[in-house]
Structures are given as structure tokens and as C-alpha cells.
């Protein structure tokens, strides 16, 4: 009877354990990371009775979790990929909407600017049209400023997110390290601590939502690595990840990994996966390049419009003033260079002068000094070596449209600077003109044929080809004096001979200043250079015009300063041509217009956005499939567990009946004596 009783008791114990495990599964149906558990039972050792072996009941050998390392790894990897893709898509959608929307983008206000310019050019003396152009110019500048502000705020948001997320990474990494230690301790008894294993796997999965990690299992521990194999967790020790101002650009946070409290490594460029990977990739691929592209457009608009206005005369017969602010203001030159942390002189910095806006790229640059004056330049967008230069070279060499000078302090071998030629320009562009009468719509020179000419000679109006530096007030004053005092210039034709016809040029004093020839009956483009003759003509200048027809000997024409040309709109039309002129660089040369440049930017961001949508949809599908596969294996099925409850309850009842039978039989035996 004792054997039957022990068999019944073992059945009760097995059934009770099975019921407890089943109940635990049901209770943890919605517990994140929980793996379904099952009871493993075996028959107890048989006892020999004579020539036979009789069973002695059942016993529990293990409470095993239903788990697949492969499926768990798949979920972890797809979680990191999907989290990165979704974060990247969320950010780039904002930029795409900002640039493409007519109410927030540049296209509409740029079109309105040129439309107002066209209206003003049609009525160059109309004050209302001129004022409208000033208003539209301010609107254009403010739109650039607005987009720059919103993009800059995104950079600040990324900094905040990186700072917050690194703290979460550190917390989860510390938890994994603690789980490692707890699992090692609990496993010493020979049994698997299922709940601790599940909790560690869930912590690693949550970590994968933040940053891509590689898991290497060593014994009962998980070692976690990020980036290019930098250790985040090793056994029970966890490194610290932090977001700090970058040594290259303090306005942007970099990711630093501190190991053992002292070894610090910048892993920003190698981080992938998770929300952190998505933010870093978005910043590098979209945010920085968009800011640079918009900045280049702002520089081209301001510089090209200002420069062309400088070639004309305003309503006061003065050479034109700048419509937009000076792109090479001292403060602006200084902010384009960032000294890297660790340079020999913390006060040293470079000034970046924009020499040719039509040659600017959208890249940043790294300048490294090999001595106190010699430096090399590397373009960061493609890693191209732009050559080696010397600070003492005069004039300073032009590199992709800009030149460098030492602004303050001193430099030594090993010092480095990050050059951002266009990064901040969209936020800096602003209208500086307040008086619409200063808009220089008229050309500075006009030509007239002498009334007594007898031939059929004709002429186009002259165009000043000497560029007036709109930002140099002294140069403008000299050119104003030269144009006023260096005219009128008279051109007198000689007799035609041998298929050509010569001419002589005379200055205002009647002195010959040059000769030339044309082919009668054809259109002849000629360039005239007026030499400097200080003090009345402090600067030389040149202009071009077209001589046509067949003038007679002695026929003449006069080129004079356009002092009374208030109704002249030739320079306004030249400014209007900037709408379609190829003023924006393509692969190092002028190749597209302003409108084409902005359209190209929208297309680029739009293409990246579309690709991001496809990537996000794909990674989401992969994650859903991986999660479904894992859940089908490790997840709790309530219907199955309910069936198990009934089954194990019946087992328990049957085992109770065994005990009842053993008791009844034992009582019968006792009573028989």
C-alpha cells in the first residue's frame, strides 16, 4: 500500500506543478518578452520485485521555456532596422513637406521676386513697383530665414533626443550587465532561471530599439557590441554612452563611448540601427546637405543680384547699392570656420571669404595644417583632396569658390578646422536697402549716333564689362568718378578699304585713346577700354557694343554717361536674366539656374523620402513576420493553456483517487486483523 500511496502522491505533485506552470503562463500572457514554459516530467526509478520491475510514479525534471535563439536574434535585428527606418522616415517627411509645399518652400516666393522685378523693369520710374520689389525681396529673405530656423530647430531636437536616448541606452546596458551576473549566480544550481533569461532578452530587444547591437553569448553572459565592435556590455560590466558637443562642430552632438571610466571613443560615424542610428543618418544624409544647399542658393541670390545692381545707375544717377547684405561681412566670414578641440591656440580661427558664388559646392571641408602657414584641404562630401596651400600666398587661392585667411591667433602643425562655406547663409540673408530709389535699373552708359552722319552705320547700346565691386565703397566711388569724367567718348570712322573700315576713339579732351576696325555690312562686337587718368579718371573701365551697317568716312557716334537715364531699364533686364542664368555650380562649374537648383533639391529630398518609405514598409514587414514567428513558438496561447488546465486538473483528480484507493485498501487490511 505504501508503494501505491507514493505513486499517487507523485502524481499529485506532478499535476500540481503542471497546473502552476500553466497558471503562470496564463498570468503572463501580456508580459513583454515572456516565453511560454512547459513541464518536463519523467518516470521515477522502477523498483525490482523478484523478476519484475514495478514503476514508482513520476517526477519533474525541468520547467523549460519554449525558446529559439535564432528567432530571438531575428526579432532583435529586425527591431533595430525598423526603428532606424521609421525614425529616418519621420524626420525626412518633415523636410520634404517643408521644401515642397508652396506655402513654406522657396519656389513661390522666388517666382514672386522675379515677377515683381519684371513689373519694376517695365516701369523703372514707378515708385510703387520699386517698393513692391523691395517687399518681395524681404519676403524672399525671410523665407530663407524661416526654413533655416526650422531646420536648425531639428538639429536642436536631434541633440536633445540623442542626449535622452543615450541615458536610456546606459540604463538598459546596466540592466543587461546585472542580469548577466544574476543569471550566472542562479545557474550555479544547475537549473535555468527562465524569468531572468526572458527579462534579459527583453532588455536587449528594447536596447535594439535605441541602437543597433551585436550579441555574443559567452557562457551564461551576453556581451553586447555597438558600432564597429566597440563593447557596450561585457559580462557584468557596462560602458557609458554619452552625447556631447562634437569636436568638429559644437552645435552638433557626437556619440562617445566611455569604457572602464576613462577610455573615451567617438563612435558617431559607425553607429547604425535603432532610433539613434536613424537620427544620425538623417542628420548626415539630409539635414546637413539641405542646409548647405539652401545656404548656397541664398549666397547666389544675394551675390548675383547685388553684383548686377552694382553695374547700373539708380534714380539719382549713382552706381547701384546692394539690395541684400554683404555676403562677406566680417562676422559671416568668421562663423564659416570652426576650430577643432585640441588645437594649439584656442583663440585661433580662420576667415572664409566667398570669392565666387557660382563655384560653390554643398560640401563641408576639413583644413589641416602641416606647419604654421602650410595647410591642406579635404572635401568631406567625397573625401577628395583639394590640394595644399600656404597662408602667405597673395591673393589667397580660391578653392571651390572660397578662400581662407588666418583671422585670429596662430596655428601649428596638426591643427585642424572645419570649414562650412554655406551652412549658415540661409539664416543670414536679409535685405539691406531701405530706399527704393537706389535700385539701379539703368545702364551707366548710352550711345548716340551723330545727327550729321551720311552712312548707314548703327550701334547697340554699350554694356559695362568691368565688374564693379558692390561691397567696396571706395571702388564704387572711383568708378563713379571715372564714368562721369571719362565720357563722352567719340568714335570717328575712317574710309572703308579692302573689306574693312577703321575707326579712332577720342576721350572727352579730344585725345586719341585707341583705334580699331570693323567689317562694313556685318555686326561687329567691339570692346573699348578707357584708360585711367587720375585724378579725373581714377580707374580704367571697359565696355562692349555692336557696330553694324556701312558708315561713311567721317561718320561718328558718342558714348556718354547715362546721367539722365531714369527711364532706362537695361540693367533691370540684366538682373531679370538671373532667373534663368546658370549661376549655380554643378560638379564644380556653373551649370543650373536658381529655380533649377531648388527644383533639384526638392527632387533629391523627395527621392530620398520615397526610398525611406519603401525601406520603412519593408523593415516593418520583416519585423512583423519575425515577431509573429517568435510568438507562434514562444507566445502564450490561451486556448491551449485552458485545455491544459482541464487536462492537468483531471490528472490531479485521478492521482487523488489513487491515494483514496490506497487508503481504503490499507484500512481494509487493518480492519481484517
pLDDT per residue over 114-163, tens digit each? 999 999 999 999 999 999 999 999 999 999 999 999 999 999 999 999 99
Report the C-alpha gap between 616 and 517 in whole angstroms: 70
- The answer to whether residue 2 is domain-embedded is yes
Model confidence at 61: pLDDT above 80: no
**Strand 221-226 versus strand 214-218 pairing type:** antiparallel
Do 242 and 350 fall within a single domain?
no
Do 105 and 215 fall within a single domain?
yes
Mean pLDDT to the nearest integer, 542-569 = 93
Which of 538, 561, 584 lies at the terminal end of a domain, its last residue?
561
Report the C-alpha gap between 328 and 338 in whole angstroms: 17
Q: Do residues 450 and 555 touch, judged by C-beta distance below 8 A?
A: yes
The predicted pLDDT at position 516 comes to 94
- The answer to whether residue 299 is domain-embedded is no
- The answer to whether residue 112 is domain-embedded is yes
Do 32 and 114 fall within a single domain?
no
Report the C-alpha gap between 400 and 522 in whole angstroms: 40
- How many domains, in total, are found in the chain? 4
Do 174 and 260 fall within a single domain?
yes
Query: 500 Cβ partners below 8 Å, 6+ apart?
Result: 517, 518, 519, 520
User: Nearest 5°: phi and psi at 654?
Assistant: -65, -40
pLDDT digits (tens, 9 = 90+) for 616-657: 999 999 999 999 998 888 888 888 878 888 887 888 888 788
Mean pLDDT to the nearest integer, 315-340 = 94
Q: Lowest-pLDDT range, 87-91, 190-194, 306-310, 445-449?
A: 190-194
Radius of gyration of the chain (CA): 41
According to DSSP, residue 57 is labeled -
Model confidence at 253: pLDDT above 50: yes
Report the C-alpha gap between 424 and 251 in whole angstroms: 12
The predicted pLDDT at position 297 comes to 96
List the 445-449 sheet strands across, edge first: 445-449, 556-561, 489-497, 500-506, 512-518
- Binned at pLDDT 50, 70 and 90, residue 1 comes out as very low
Nearest to 604 by CA among 272, 145, 280, 293: 293
**Residue 641 lies in domain:** 1-66+636-672
Report the C-alpha gap between 2 and 521 in whole angstroms: 135
Q: Do residues 550 and 532 touch, judged by C-beta distance below 8 A?
A: no
Mean pLDDT to the nearest integer, 646-672 = 77
Model confidence at 572: pLDDT above 90: yes
- The secondary structure element, H or E, covering residue 547 is strand 541-548
Give the C-alpha distances (Å, rounded to integers) separating 601 from 451, 614, 643: 55, 20, 62
Mean pLDDT to the nearest integer, 456-471 = 93
Report the C-alpha gap between 544 and 529 in whole angstroms: 9
Report the C-alpha gap between 459 and 473 in whole angstroms: 32
Model confidence at 247: pLDDT above 90: no
Quote the percentage of the chain above a pLDDT of 90.
72
- Binned at pLDDT 50, 70 and 90, residue 521 comes out as very high
The predicted pLDDT at position 520 comes to 94
- The answer to whether residue 310 is domain-embedded is no
The predicted pLDDT at position 33 comes to 85
According to DSSP, residue 224 is labeled E
Do 89 and 175 fall within a single domain?
yes
- The answer to whether residue 607 is domain-embedded is yes
Model confidence at 474: pLDDT above 80: yes
Give the C-alpha distances (Å, rounded to integers) separating 176 from 171, 274, 575: 9, 17, 65
pTM higher than 0.85: yes
Report the C-alpha gap between 277 and 211 in whole angstroms: 6
Do 197 and 142 fall within a single domain?
yes
Do 42 and 79 fall within a single domain?
no
Report the C-alpha gap between 398 and 568 in whole angstroms: 36
Task: Give the highest mean pLDDT range of 62-66, 391-395, 606-610.
Answer: 606-610
Which of 428, 456, 478 lies at the terminal end of a domain, its last residue?
428
Do 413 and 464 fall within a single domain?
no
- The 3-class SS string of 152-203 reads HHHHHHHHHHHHHHHHHHHHHHHHHHHHHHHHHHHHHHCCCCHHHHHHHHHH
Model confidence at 50: pLDDT above 90: no
- The answer to whether residue 38 is domain-embedded is yes
Report the C-alpha gap between 564 and 580 in whole angstroms: 30
Mean pLDDT to the nearest integer, 193-206 = 92
User: Nearest 5°: phi and psi at 502?
Assistant: -85, 165
The predicted pLDDT at position 210 comes to 96
Which of 539, 561, 583 lies at the terminal end of a domain, its last residue?
561
Q: Do residues 557 and 291 touch, judged by C-beta distance below 8 A?
A: no
Q: Lowest-pLDDT range, 5-19, 401-415, 622-636?
A: 5-19
> Hey, what long-range contacts does 118-125 have (CB within 8 A, 24 or more apart)?
118/576, 120/439, 120/441, 120/572, 121/441, 121/569, 121/572, 121/573, 121/575, 121/576, 122/569, 124/441, 124/442, 124/566, 124/567, 124/568, 124/569, 124/572, 125/315, 125/566, 125/567
Q: Which residues pair with 37 in a beta bridge?
A: 65
Do 659 and 548 fall within a single domain?
no
Question: Residue 507, SS3?
Answer: coil
Q: Do residues 303 and 327 touch, judged by C-beta distance below 8 A?
A: yes
Mean pLDDT of the chain: 91
Q: Do residues 290 and 144 touch, judged by C-beta distance below 8 A?
A: no
Do 119 and 264 fall within a single domain?
yes
Report the C-alpha gap between 429 and 422 in whole angstroms: 11
- The answer to whether residue 491 is domain-embedded is yes
- The secondary structure element, H or E, covering residue 388 is strand 385-390
Report the C-alpha gap between 330 and 415 in whole angstroms: 22
Nearest to 598 by CA among 146, 98, 88, 116: 98
Do 345 and 407 fall within a single domain?
yes
Report the C-alpha gap between 548 and 530 in whole angstroms: 21
Report the C-alpha gap between 387 and 205 in whole angstroms: 47
Give the C-alpha distances (Å, rounded to integers) separating 270 from 83, 213, 245, 254, 666: 17, 12, 17, 11, 76
- Binned at pLDDT 50, 70 and 90, residue 192 comes out as confident
Quote the percentage of the chain above a pLDDT of 70.
98
- The answer to whether residue 198 is domain-embedded is yes
Q: Do residues 176 and 232 touch, judged by C-beta distance below 8 A?
A: no
Question: Residue 659, SS3?
Answer: helix
Report the C-alpha gap between 299 and 358 in whole angstroms: 9
Report the C-alpha gap between 64 and 22 in whole angstroms: 12
Query: 646 Cβ partners below 8 Å, 6+ apart?
Result: none
Do 91 and 47 fall within a single domain?
no
Amino acid at each position: 500500500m505504501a508503494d501505491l500511496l507514493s505513486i499517487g502522491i507523485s502524481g499529485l505533485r506532478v499535476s500540481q506543478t503542471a497546473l502552476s506552470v500553466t497558471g503562470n503562463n496564463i498570468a503572463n500572457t501580456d508580459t513583454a518578452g515572456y516565453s511560454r514554459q512547459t513541464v518536463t516530467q519523467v518516470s521515477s526509478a522502477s523498483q525490482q520485485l523478484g523478476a519484475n520491475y514495478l514503476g514508482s510514479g513520476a517526477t519533474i525534471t525541468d520547467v523549460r521555456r519554449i525558446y529559439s535563439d535564432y528567432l530571438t536574434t531575428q526579432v532583435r535585428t529586425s527591431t533595430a532596422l525598423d526603428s532606424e527606418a521609421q525614425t529616418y522616415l519621420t524626420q525626412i517627411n518633415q523636410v520634404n513637406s517643408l521644401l515642397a509645399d508652396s506655402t513654406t518652400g522657396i519656389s513661390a516666393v522666388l517666382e514672386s521676386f522675379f515677377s515683381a522685378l519684371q513689373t519694376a523693369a517695365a516701369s523703372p520710374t514707378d515708385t510703387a513697383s520699386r517698393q513692391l520689389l523691395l517687399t518681395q525681396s524681404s519676403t524672399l529673405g525671410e523665407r530663407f530665414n524661416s526654413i533655416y530656423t526650422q531646420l536648425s530647430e531639428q538639429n536642436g531636437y536631434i541633440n536633445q533626443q540623442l542626449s535622452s536616448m543615450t541615458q536610456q541606452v546606459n540604463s538598459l546596458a546596466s540592466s543587461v550587465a546585472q542580469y548577466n551576473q544574476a543569471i550566472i549566480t542562479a545557474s550555479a544550481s544547475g537549473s535555468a532561471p527562465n524569468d531572468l533569461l526572458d527579462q534579459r532578452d527583453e532588455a536587449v530587444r528594447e536596447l535594439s530599439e535605441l541602437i543597433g547591437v551585436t550579441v555574443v553569448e559567452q557562457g551564461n553572459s551576453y556581451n553586447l557590441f555597438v558600432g564597429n565592435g566597440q563593447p557596450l556590455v561585457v559580462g557584468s560590466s557596462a560602458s557609458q554612452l554619452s552625447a556631447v558637443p562634437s569636436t568638429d562642430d559644437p552645435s552638433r552632438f557626437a556619440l562617445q563611448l566611455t569604457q572602464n571610466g576613462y577610455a573615451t571613443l567617438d563612435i558617431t560615424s559607425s553607429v547604425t540601427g535603432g532610433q539613434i542610428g536613424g537620427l544620425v543618418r538623417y542628420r548626415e544624409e539630409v539635414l546637413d546637405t539641405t542646409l548647405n544647399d539652401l545656404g548656397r542658393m541664398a549666397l547666389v541670390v544675394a551675390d548675383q543680384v547685388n553684383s548686377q545692381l552694382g553695374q547700373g545707375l539708380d534714380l539719382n544717377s549713382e552706381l547701384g547699392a546692394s539690395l541684400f547684405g554683404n555676403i562677406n561681412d566680417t562676422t559671416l566670414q568668421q562663423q564659416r570656420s570652426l576650430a577643432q578641440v585640441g588645437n594649439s591656440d584656442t583663440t585661433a580661427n580662420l576667415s572664409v571669404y566667398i570669392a565666387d558664388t557660382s563655384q560653390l559646392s554643398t560640401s563641408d571641408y576639413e583644413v589641416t595644417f602641416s606647419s604654421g602657414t602650410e595647410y591642406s584641404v579635404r572635401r568631406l562630401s567625397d573625401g577628395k583632396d583639394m590640394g595644399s596651400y600656404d597662408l602667405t600666398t597673395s591673393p589667397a587661392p580660391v578653392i571651390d569658390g572660397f578662400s581662407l585667411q588666418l583671422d585670429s591667433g596662430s596655428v601649428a602643425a596638426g591643427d585642424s578646422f572645419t570649414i562650412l562655406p554655406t551652412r549658415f547663409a540661409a539664416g543670414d540673408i536679409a535685405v539691406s536697402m531701405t530706399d527704393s530709389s537706389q535700385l539701379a535699373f539703368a545702364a551707366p552708359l548710352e550711345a548716340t549716333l551723330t545727327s550729321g552722319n551720311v552712312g548707314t552705320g548703327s550701334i547697340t547700346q554699350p554694356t559695362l564689362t568691368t565688374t564693379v565691386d558692390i561691397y567696396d565703397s571706395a571702388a564704387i566711388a572711383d568708378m563713379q568718378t571715372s564714368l562721369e569724367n571719362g565720357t563722352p567718348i567719340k568714335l570717328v570712322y575712317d574710309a572703308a578699304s579692302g573689306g574693312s573700315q577703321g575707326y579712332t576713339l577720342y576721350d572727352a579732351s579730344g585725345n586719341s585713346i585707341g583705334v580699331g576696325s570693323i567689317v562694313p555690312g556685318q555686326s561687329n562686337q567691339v570692346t573699348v577700354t578707357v584708360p585711367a587718368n587720375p585724378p579725373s579718371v581714377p580707374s580704367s573701365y571697359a565696355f562692349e557694343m555692336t557696330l553694324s551697317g556701312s558708315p561713311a568716312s567721317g561718320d561718328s557716334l558718342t558714348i556718354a554717361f547715362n546721367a539722365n537715364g531714369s527711364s532706362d531699364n537695361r540693367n533691370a533686364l540684366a538682373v531679370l536674366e538671373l532667373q534663368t542664368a546658370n549661376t549655380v555650380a554643378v560638379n564644380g562649374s556653373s551649370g543650373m539656374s536658381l529655380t533649377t537648383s531648388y527644383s533639384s533639391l526638392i527632387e533629391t529630398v523627395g527621392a530620398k523620402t520615397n526610398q525611406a518609405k519603401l525601406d520603412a514598409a519593408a523593415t516593418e514587414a520583416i519585423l512583423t513576420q519575425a515577431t509573429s514567428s517568435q510568438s507562434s513558438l514562444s507566445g502564450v496561447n490561451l486556448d491551449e493553456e485552458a485545455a491544459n488546465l482541464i487536462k492537468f486538473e483531471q490528472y490531479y483528480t485521478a492521482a487523488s483517487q489513487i491515494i483514496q484507493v490506497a487508503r481504503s485498501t490499507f484500512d481494509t487490511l487493518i480492519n481484517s486483523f
